[in-house]
Amino acid sequence: MRAFHLRRPTLGLLTFLVLFALYIALFLNIAFWHQAFNRLPVNSVHSALVFISMPVVAFAAINILLTLASLIRLHRLVISLFVLLGAAVQYFILNFSIVMDRSMIDNILDTTPAESFALLSSRLVLSLLFSGVLMAGLAWWVRIRYPATLTRGMMVQGASIALSGLAIVLVALLFYKDYASLFRNNKELVKSLNPSNSIVASWSWYIHNRMDNLPLVRIGEDARQAPQIAQGPRKNLTILIVGETSRAANFSLGGYARETNPRLKNDNVIYFPHTTSCGTATAVSVPCMFSDMPRQHYDAQLAHHQEGLLDVIQRAGIKVLWNENDGGCKGACERVPTQDMTRLKLPGQCINGECYDDVLFEGLSHYIDTLQGDGVIVLHTIGSHGPTYYNRYPPQFRKFTPTCDTNEIQTCSQEQLVNTYDNTILYVDYVVDKAIALLRSKQDRFTTSLVYLSDHGESLGEDGVYLHGLPWSIAPQMQTHIPMLMWLSDDYQKRYHVSQQCLQKRADTQAYSQDNLFSTMLGMVGVATQVYQGKDDILLSCKGAN
C-alpha cells in the first residue's frame, strides 16, 4: 500500500506575497473595517468609495513591506510576525474593545503569569490557532518559485512596489480630505489597524522607555516630620490601601442601589464620590498617583527614574512597608521595604499564583506591634481585577447570583457579569473594614488613619467595552471614575483638629482625583517639605474647622 504524501503547493514569489498581503489586510483587520464603517458613515456613493479605498491602501502598504522584506529573504519571517501579532490583537479588539498603543504594551509587559493565564480561554486558543498559527505555518510550508535571475527578480519586485505606491498616491489624491477628517476626528481608529498598531506601539514604548536607566532624580530632600506630629503622646500609623479595578459606579457608599459596602457604611468613613483616576491601567495610575506630578503634566518617562511619595515619607524618618498582592508596584515601592505576599502560598488563600486580598494581613499585626516610631503601610490589593472576577473573593462572598464563572466574560449575560463584579466589591468592603478594625485595635499605641483609593475603574460590557486600558481621552467614565475614602480615628481628629463634618461636606460637593494623594498623604502623616502642595491636601481646609 502506497503511503499518502501531501504535496506542498508551489507559488511564484509575487503571488505568494500578494496572497498573504491580502489575508493580513482584509481578514486580520475585520475589527478595523467594522469601526471604520461605523465612523464614516457609509451613506453615499462618495463615502462608499472612500470606504472601499481603505482595503486598497492597507493591502498596498503591507505588500510594499513584504516585498521589501523579500529583497533580503526575510518575507516568511515578516509574514509570520504580522500574522501572529494581527491575529492576537484582533481577538482582543473584537472581544474586549482594547486599543493597541504604548500603554497597552506596558500592560502586556507588566502582566504576571497568573494574569496571563486568566485571559487564556478555548475561544482565544482556537482563534489564534486558526487565524494565526496555521496561517503562519502555511507561510513556511508553501514552496516559493523565485525569479530565474536576480535582475528579473529585482524588476518584478520593483514593479510590485511601484504599483502599490501608485495605488496609495491615487487614493490620496482622490480622498485625502476624507481620510484627514476621519482620522483627525477619530484619532484612536488607526490603533485598530493591523499590523501597524503593534509596530507603532512597540516603537513608541521603546522610545519612551529607553531612558529608564538615567540617574535617580531626588525630590523632597528637605523632608522632615513636623514638630507637632513628632511630639505627640502616641506615634502615628496610617494604612494606605491601593485598590485594583474598583469602579465608583458599584460602590453603595456612592449611591449604588445594591448594598455592596455593608461594613464600611458602619465605619464612619468619609467617602469621596467625585474622584477620577490618572490613567486607566495600573502601569499608568499607580506610578502617577505616587508621583508629585498631576495627570495633565504627568511624564511617565520621568516618573520611572524619579523619587515619589514613599521616598519622601521615608526620608522624613517614617517607617514604610509595602505589602504586594497585585503583581508589582510599577516602581512606586522600589526603594522601600516590600513583601510579595503571593510568595507565601498560604493554603486556602492562594491558588495558581494568585491570592485573596486577606493575605495582605498575614503577619501585619505582629509587624505593627514591633514598630518603633511612626509608620505608613501600603496594601496593594488585587481587588476586582478581571476577567476572572470570580477568583477574587472566597466562596462566602458569593452573595449576588447567578455569577459569571469564566474568563470569557463576553459570553456571560450582563446580570451574571455585574453580579460577579459586585461580589468583588463586597470583598473589597470586607478588606478595607478589616484594615480599619486592625487600626482600631492598635489605638493604645498609635494615632491611626486610613486611605483607600482605587487605581482605575472597569468596563463591564457597556457599549461593547470590557475590562480597562483605553486611552484616558476616550475612555468611558466607568474606567476613570474611581472610589476613594478616608477613615480618621477619633484620636486623629482631636489631636490634629480635623473636622469630619467639614470633610464630608467637601467630599459631597468637590471633585478630587489621584492628583490629591501625594500632598494629602504628606499632610496626613505630618511631613513638611517644599514639594508639599497645600492646595492639593484634602485635609488642610478642614483642620481647625468647627
Q: Are residues 261 and 176 in the same domain?
A: no
Q: For residues 114 and 327, is the Cβ–Cβ distance under 8 A?
A: yes
Residue 232, all three cell numbers: 505627640
- Residue ending a domain, among 209, 236, 271, is 209
Read off the pLDDT of each residue in 3-25 and give the average, rounded to a whole number.
87
pTM above threshold 0.75: yes
Both 312 and 364 in a single domain? Answer: yes
Q: What pLDDT band is residue 5 in, cutting at 50, 70 and 90?
A: low
Non-local CB neighbours of 191 within 8 Å, separated by 6+ positions: 99, 100, 101, 197, 200, 201
Domain containing 375 equals 224-542
Residue 56 within a domain: yes
Q: What are the tens digits of pLDDT across the range 95-147?
A: 888 788 877 887 777 777 777 777 788 888 999 999 999 999 999 999 999 88
**Averaged over 383-406, what is the pLDDT?**
95
Looking at the structure, do residues 194 and 231 belong to the same domain, yes or no?
Answer: no
Tell me what pLDDT residue 204 has. 78
pLDDT per position as a tens digit, 316-362: 999 999 999 998 899 999 999 999 999 898 998 998 889 999 999 99
Average pLDDT over residues 23-27: 94
In this prediction, residue 414 carries a pLDDT of 95
Q: Is residue 15 assigned to a domain? A: yes
Are residues 194 and 243 both part of a single domain? no
Residue 448 φ/ψ, nearest 5 degrees: -115, 155
Say if 35 falls within a structural domain: yes
Backbone angles phi, psi at 371, to 5 degrees: -75, 125
pLDDT digits (tens, 9 = 90+) for 484-537: 999 999 999 999 999 999 999 999 999 999 999 999 999 999 999 999 999 999
Report the SS3 class of residue 391. Answer: helix
The rounded distance, in Å, linking the Cα atoms of 94 and 59 is 21
Mean pLDDT of the chain: 91
The whole-number pLDDT of residue 313 equals 98
pLDDT category at 315 given cuts 50, 70, 90 is very high
Assess if residue 217 is contained within a domain: no
**What are the backbone dihedrals phi and psi of residue 208, each rounded to the nearest 5 degrees, phi first?**
-70, -30
Structural domain ending residue among the three candidates 175, 209, 243: 209
Residue 71 domain-assigned (yes or no):
yes
Assess whether 291 and 175 both reside in one domain. no
* Residue 215 forms part of a structural domain: no
Question: Taking 50 as the threshold, does the pLDDT of residue 1 lie above it?
Answer: no
Same domain, 169 and 41: yes
Q: How many domains is the chain partitioned into structurally? A: 2
Average pLDDT over residues 433-445: 97
